[in-house]
Amino acid sequence: MYMEVQALQMTPVTMRATSHLGETIEKEPPKSFGTYLKDALSEVNKLQLASDEQNKLLAAGEVSDISQVVVAGQKAEIALQLTLQLRNRAISAYQEIMRMQV
């Protein structure tokens, strides 16, 4: 019923290489919020255009696999819904700030 107690074993601490600390790493400047927003809206637009193109091909009878059309449509719809929700949150936050007493 008793368990045997074993001593803890000590593991040696390893040193990390620090030779790279003296080097300077060139970083690209951080992106602004506007740049991120523009990139995101551009990506949503690309998804919408891809969905439209798939729908045109389907209407012309040039699509052999309808699942591609459905997937493209769903990607575009989800991206647009996310964009609208972000816009609604931003408007809500702005309105809340404007209601604050100074």
- Mapped onto helix, strand or coil, the DSSP state of residue 71 is helix
Residue with tokens 């719809």: 77
pLDDT of residue 51: 97
pLDDT at 31 over 70: yes
Domain layout of the chain by residue ranges = 31-99
pLDDT of residue 49: 97
Give buried/exposed letters for 44-58 (b at 16+ CB in 10 A, else e).
beebbeebeebeeeb
What's the whole-model pTM score? 0.65
Amino acid sitting at position 53: E
Neighbours of 63 (CB within 10 A): 15
**Three-point CA angle 96, 99, 102, nearest 5°:** 120
